[in-house]
Amino acid sequence: MYRKIGLFALMLILATTVVFAQGAKESGKGETVVLRMGDNIPDRSTGWGAVIERINKEFIEMHPEVKITTESYQDQAWQEKVKIYATANQLPDVMKYWSFSTLLQPLVDGKFVEPLHMDTFKQYGYMAGALEGNVYNGQLYGIPVSADLWVIYVNKALFEKAGVPLPQSWEDIVASVPKFKAQGIIPMVTDGKDGWPLCEMFDNIQQRFSGSFQPVADAIERKARYTDDNFLQTARYIQNLVKAGVFQSDLVTSDYGASRNLFGQERAAMYMMGSWEMGLATDPNFSDSFRDNLDVIEFPVVKGGKGNSDDLLAWFGGNYIVNAKSEHKDLALDYIEYYAKVFPAYAWETQATFPAQKVEARENDTIVAKKLLDIAADAKTTSGTPGLDRSTTAFKETHQDLMRRLMSNIITPEAFVAELDAAAEKAAK
Amino acid sequence: MTRYQTERNAKKTLLAIFLSLFVVAQVFPLLWVASYSLQKSGDLFGPELLKLPVNPVWNNYVRAWFDGKIPQYLTNTLLVVIPSVTLSTVLSFSIAYACTRMQWKLRPVAWFIITIGLTIPIHTTLLPNFIWYNFFGLIDTRIGLIISYVAFSISFNAIIFSGLLTGLPYSMEESAFLDGAKYRHILPSIIAPMAATGFATVGVQTFLNHWNEFIMANTYLMSEAKRTLPFSIIRFQGQYSSDYAVQFACMTLVALPPLLLYFIFNRWIVAGITAGAVKG
Amino acid sequence: MKNLFSDKKTIALLSVPSIVIIAFAILAPLVVSLYFSFMEWSGFGAATFIGTDNYRELILHDGTFYRALLNTFLLMLVTIFLQNPFAFVIAAILTKLKDATSRFLRTIYFIPATLSLVVVTKLWVSIFNPSYGFLNKLLQGIGFQNVQIAWLSNPKTALGSVIWIMVWQGFGWALLFYYSGLMTVPKELEEAAKVDGANKFQLYTKIIVPYMLPVIQSVVVIDVVSSLKQMEMVYLSTEGGPGDLTQFIAVYLYQKAFRYSEYGYGNAISVIFVVLAVFLTVFIQRIFSERSAGKKRVGA
């Protein structure tokens, strides 16, 4: 028995040595100021992540005493982490976050966010309404970084393979389902696990029926009810889309990364997501055939509905905020000003995302980039913040949860709208 | 062959099939993952039921090692688990001894508290400790994690030790007392060796449990720098989630240490269960 | 001599650290939980006292909570009445095999139990994946073409799939417990029964199972406790969905606190959970001690 214990101890010592040797190589040296950052962009080798790394590198060149450490998670996990950090008073110095009241308001109220000077940032070419979306209690609290347009990315090669033309309406999409399935192609994928894309779709389809985005804002403010006909119609319609087989079969357990990868791996013909994913066109993780065939179309119409394809579900979601309790506030503020200055150009250069600031269209922009610029420019009406983000956290979670249930066929559209309305009522109190 | 013999052979074959099915059920999932861990991610989508690695892509393991941040997370696990297992073993042995072989009025109360520890689910302390540990500055520290790990493992381990200690004759201590020996000599030199199998069992089992623990680490640890080994696998979400093969390689790597430990020390795991469940 | 057995200093030294740690890390937090269960708090900012509102909402209106209880109960049933009998039968077979074979099989059967829950969950999530997972490929292979069952998303299969993962992982423990127990059955008992003309079936049902009652009791208690404790496997796979069909109590309280920012409510669930756990454990042990007490009177 002692021999076995000895063997075990030896293994442990060996393992520890190997591991410590690894760790030792990475230890830092000397006195440095560490700027802690956090975001929802785990991939740093390409796309948006690479742009941030570039900005970080240049910032460090300007401030040699600074070291930047970043932690990145997927959306939902990052939001949870921020809540946990806030409770433990351990927020990073600089954070990528969202301008929505559901997420930013609690932090602002808890005095975790450093107010910013509107004048400092006005000069950086923000689109109309972008900075305003980050104003709470009359103060600017964050700088918007992306203009978020709700679109459908398409893989033209898969459409050709199935013999399907690019859709104009959701009816077109439903009709194409059998053709896609015959080729083993998933018609459309999106992140059903997190649920919020389903809520965006809900708002958007509502508009396609009623012709206006306003009912959503009204329902939140209790000037209208989610039990009104237009919403009930929307819920029924969406449930029928699922029944028709439009989405991936594991929609509600398919998270952001999984659904994105289904599309990137050319298993799905369409990906319902926002303009921030334009980086798909230059993502080296995916094949040439995928990138060369990538295109984007406006959110389809509903036949017989009053909404048009140039009515755009658009908002300024992603932003950067500074921790009011940061020990390196000046450096943090310098950082985000530099970010505001260079980000649009850098991001557009590699087509990483759709900035909230004006950019110059270029010759060698990807098809997707050009299309998105057009879609933004052609938009007749825009929605502003989507419904799920206009209220409380509990409402958002309930809305997401209800969408998942609706699209898993667990509740009826009637029950769906009733519960959604009850949640809105509760949140308004 | 007699009819009896044919019947027996038939029964034996049936038995063998039955047992083999269970072997497959228990082990196949791991083999499936291990097999694809040595191939390219795209191979997973192929039509075959199970493809064996013809040209093993060992690079997947290299990438799993680095993308999964295994060295850092492994260090952290060791930094937490070695103290927690040591502390848990020593403390549970001590209190088992005090409650089974020593005389004191509050003995039943103390033992009651120990047994309560068994029924309280870990997850009921996650929320309050968030505030409670934060008050003591224990959030995002390895020590906070160690304290929780030790606290929740004392009960079971003490019960194992108590099973072993109750059977010993009191003459062991008594003759030592006569020789003028004190407890600080008696416990390690005389009593502990008698419970040697208990130490082995408790040590190995506690090591396995703490090594694999996830949810407390997920709730109490914040920074990247402190994460433990289970988080290596979690890293393969989002952006990396298309790297199925590398993710599988990571899962295999993380599964190996407890497996190896189990293969070497399984005798003590069985012994512990006998002591704990059968006699306790 | 008796003095040293009651030496106060030694007793304190041996027992106080454990008691202190348990009090600090387990008991004190329960009190904190109770405190917050009467509050409404998002996790930052000020907490408001709302009395028993959380409990009222939970007990009277929360369908998800009861779904979670139901799922726990279903898991217990499957574990106790399906997994355990299988484990018992296999353990019994193992005791009759050659030692080397028995040891080999035992080792293999226990492997899943050594794995981290993270590994186990991610493993099965992959196997259950509709596009590349082994299960669908197998079904397609044996003739069910175009089967694309999303095992963990489909309302009909989600709970079963999740319970399967849990039962798969716990099988090794049950096997080991029963095996160890069966090995302690004295040979004389079996031989005496054979002499009395008992066949295999009677031997097991009338002699061995009653003898093994303490072991069975331990296993059932552990089954009950571990069914209550399910969290990681759900958290890392379905997160309680679709809807709340695979919801479990520990997952729910975690989500309420950290996702919905309803920290007070989460703590109320936590408190009820503790009460439930303690009550169930004591209850089960009572049942068994009554039965074995009865047996003792009859004489064994």
Phi/psi-derived region of residue A195, left when phi > 0, alpha when psi is between -120 and 50, beta in every other case:
left
CB nearest to B265's CB, from A4, A42, A87: A4
pLDDT score for C269: 96
C207 or A5, higher pLDDT: C207
Least confident span in A92-106, B104-118, B226-240, C73-87: B226-240
Lowest pLDDT segment from A392-406, B29-43, C21-35: B29-43
pLDDT bin (cut points 50, 70, 90) of residue B225 is: confident
Strand, coil or helix: what is B221?
Answer: coil
Q: Is residue A195's pLDDT more than 80?
A: yes
Closest-CA residue in chain A for B139? Answer: A88
Question: Could you give the residue ranges of the DSSP H alpha helices within chain C?
Answer: 2-5, 8-22, 28-37, 53-56, 63-78, 84-96, 99-114, 117-127, 134-141, 158-183, 187-195, 200-202, 209-211, 213-228, 232-235, 249-258, 263-298
A8:B265 CB<8 A: yes
pLDDT score of A19: 47
The mean pLDDT of A179-203, rounded to a whole number, is: 94
Cβ within 8 Å, pair B242-A73: no
A contact chains, 3+ CB pairs < 8 A: B, C
- Helix H or strand E encompassing B264: helix B244-273
Among A416-425, B84-93, C139-148, which is the least confidently predicted range?
C139-148
Q: What is the pLDDT of residue A6?
A: 55
Contact B239 A258 (CB under 8 A): no
CB-based contact C242 A80, cutoff 8 Å: no
Q: Give the residues across from A113 on adjacent strands.
A: A323
**Which of B114, B120, B148 faces C277 most closely, judged by CB atoms?**
B120
Residue C169 class from Cβ within 10 Å (0-12 exposed, 13-18 middle, 19+ buried)? buried
For A255-302, what is each residue's pLDDT tens digit? Answer: 888 899 889 989 999 999 999 899 899 888 788 999 999 999 999 999
Establish whether the linkage from the previous residue to C242 is cis, with ω within 30° of 0: yes
Rounded to an integer, the average pLDDT of A11-38 is 60
* H/E run at residue B216: helix B215-220
Residues of C in contact with A252 (CB under 8 A): 153, 241-242
Region B217-221 average pLDDT? 90
Q: Give whole-number Cα distances, A237 to A305, A345, A396, B72, in Å.
A: 12, 41, 21, 50
Q: Residue C82's closest CA among C171, C202, C180?
A: C171
Q: Which pLDDT score is estimated for C163?
A: 95
Question: Which of A224-233, B63-72, C194-203 has the highest average model confidence (pLDDT)?
Answer: A224-233
Sorted by sequence, the CB contacts under 8 Å of residue B117 that are 6+ apart come out as: B151, B152, B154, B155, C22, C26
Say if residue B121's pLDDT is above 50.
yes
Are the Cβ atoms of A404 and C243 closer than 8 angstroms? yes
pLDDT score at A113: 95
Q: Is the Cβ of B166 closer than 8 Å to some Cβ of chain A?
A: no
DSSP 8-class letter at C98: -
* Chain-chain contact of C242 with A405 (C-beta, under 8 angstroms): yes
Amino acid symbol at C198 = A
**What is the pLDDT at residue C238?**
92
Residue A163's CB is within 10 A of a number of other CB atoms, namely 11
**Distance between CA atoms of residues A403 and A401, nearest Å:** 5
Disruptive mutation site among B239, B259, B262, B265 for chain A (greatest number of A CBs within 10 Å): B239
Neighbours of chain B (3+ CB pairs under 8 A): A, C
How close is the nearest chain B Cα to the Cα of A323, in Å? 17
Q: Is 80 exceeded by the pLDDT of residue A369? A: yes
Strand partners, A37: A70, A94
Confidence of residue A9 (pLDDT cuts 50, 70, 90): low
Chain B interface mutation, best of A22, A34, A82, A95, highest count of B Cβ atoms under 10 Å:
A22
Report, as an integer, the average pLDDT of C280-295: 72
Alpha carbons within 13 A on the beta-carbon side of A19: 19
Q: How confident is the model at residue A30 (pLDDT cuts 50, 70, 90)?
A: low
**d(CA C141, nearest CA chain A) in Å:** 16
Whether the model pTM is above 0.90: no
Question: What per-residue confidence (pLDDT) applies to A25?
Answer: 37
Q: Is the pLDDT of residue A14 over 70?
A: no
* Per-residue pLDDT, A346: 93
Band (pLDDT 50/70/90 cuts) for residue A8 is: low
Question: How far is A184 from C130, CA to CA, in rounded Å?
Answer: 12
Computed over every residue of chain B, the mean pLDDT equals 86
Which of these ranges, A61-65, C56-60, C145-149, C274-278, has the smallest mean pLDDT?
C145-149
Instruction: State mean pLDDT over C15-38.
Output: 94
Looking at residue B278, its pLDDT comes to 54
User: In the 8-state DSSP scheme, what is residue A165?
Assistant: P
Which of the pair, B221 or A26, is modelled with greater confidence?
Answer: B221
Q: Around Cβ A322, how many Cβ atoms within 10 Å?
A: 26
> What value does the mean pLDDT take over residues C239-259?
91
A46-100: pLDDT as tens digits:
889 999 999 999 999 999 999 999 988 878 778 888 887 887 788 999 999 999 9
Q: In angstroms, rounded to a whole number, what is the distance separating the alpha carbons of residues A419 and A408?
A: 16
Determine the 3-state secondary structure of A182 from DSSP.
helix
Q: Using CA atoms, how far apart are residues C227 and C248, in angstroms rounded to an integer? A: 9
- Residues C76-93 have a mean pLDDT of 93
Residue B46 DSSP label: S
Do B259 and C113 touch, CB atoms closer than 8 A?
A: no
Beta carbons of B196 and A42 less than 8 Å apart = no
Mean pLDDT of chain C: 87
What is the SS3 assignment for A289?
helix
Q: Does residue C257 have a pLDDT over 50?
A: yes
- Cβ–Cβ below 8 Å for B148 and C25: yes
Q: What is the distance, to the nearest Å, from the Cα of residue B111 to the centroid of all Cα atoms in its chain? A: 24
How much is the pLDDT for A156?
96
- Between residues C149 and A227, the one the model is more confident about: A227
Confidence of residue C234 (pLDDT cuts 50, 70, 90): very high
Taking CB atoms and an 8 Å cutoff, what residues of chain B touch A284?
A: none
CA-CA-CA-CA torsion for A255, A261, A266, A268, nearest 10 degrees? 10
Instruction: Calculate how close chain A gets to C258, using CA atoms only, in Å.
Output: 6
3-state secondary structure of B193: helix
Taking an 8 Å cut-off on Cβ atoms, the answer to whether A84 and B237 are in contact is no
φ, ψ of residue C128 in degrees (nearest 5): -85, -5
Which one is predicted more confidently, A144 or B116? A144
- What is the arithmetic mean of pLDDT over A364-372? 91
DSSP A127: P
Is B171 an interface residue toward C (CB < 8 Å)?
no
- Mean pLDDT confidence for C263-270: 94
Average pLDDT, chain A: 89
Token pair 């217990």 is found at: C76
Instruction: Using a CB–CB cutoff of 8 Å, tell me whether B80 touches chain C.
Output: no
| Runs of H (alpha helix) within C184-262 | 187-195, 200-202, 209-211, 213-228, 232-235, 249-258
pLDDT category of residue B55 using cuts at 50, 70 and 90: confident
Percentage of chain A with pLDDT > 70?
Answer: 93
Confidence of residue A4 (pLDDT cuts 50, 70, 90): low
pLDDT at C281: 84
Nearest CA in chain B to C173: B273
Answer whether B218 touches A (CB < 8 Å): no
Q: What is the pLDDT of residues C162-221, one digit of tens each?
A: 999 999 999 988 998 888 888 888 888 888 888 887 777 777 787 888 888 888 888 888
Query: Nearest C-alpha of chain B: how many angstroms from C248?
Result: 11
* Mean pLDDT of the region B231-255: 82
pLDDT value of position A15: 55
pLDDT score of C268: 96
From the list B19, B125, B150, which residue is nearest C93 (CB)? B19
Report pLDDT for A22: 40
Over range B251-277, report the average pLDDT: 78
Residue among A16, A42, A77 minimizing CB distance to B239? A42
DSSP letter at C123 equals H
Higher pLDDT, B150 or A10: B150
**Which DSSP category does B168 fall into?**
S
User: Lowest mean pLDDT: which of A412-426, B262-276, C133-147?
Assistant: B262-276
The answer, yes or no, to whether residue A12 has pLDDT greater than 70, is no
Residue C113 confidence (pLDDT): 87
Q: For position B238, what pLDDT does the model report?
A: 60
In the chain, the amino acid numbered C275 is V
Binary contact (C153, A253; C-beta < 8 A): yes
Position C190, amino acid: E
Give B-chain residues touching A23 at CB under 8 angstroms: 71-72, 75
Contact flag A250-C129 (C-beta cutoff 8 Å): yes
Q: Do B259 and C114 make contact, defined as CB atoms within 8 angstroms?
A: yes
Which of B45, B139, B242 lies nearest to residue A285, judging by beta carbons? B242
Q: Which long-range contacts link B44-51 to residues 24+ away (Cβ below 8 Å)?
A: B44/B244, B44/B245, B44/C132, B45/A265, B45/A267, B45/C131, B45/C132, B47/C137, B48/C137, B49/C134, B49/C137, B49/C138, B49/C141, B50/C134
Asked if residue B153 has pLDDT above 70, the reply is yes
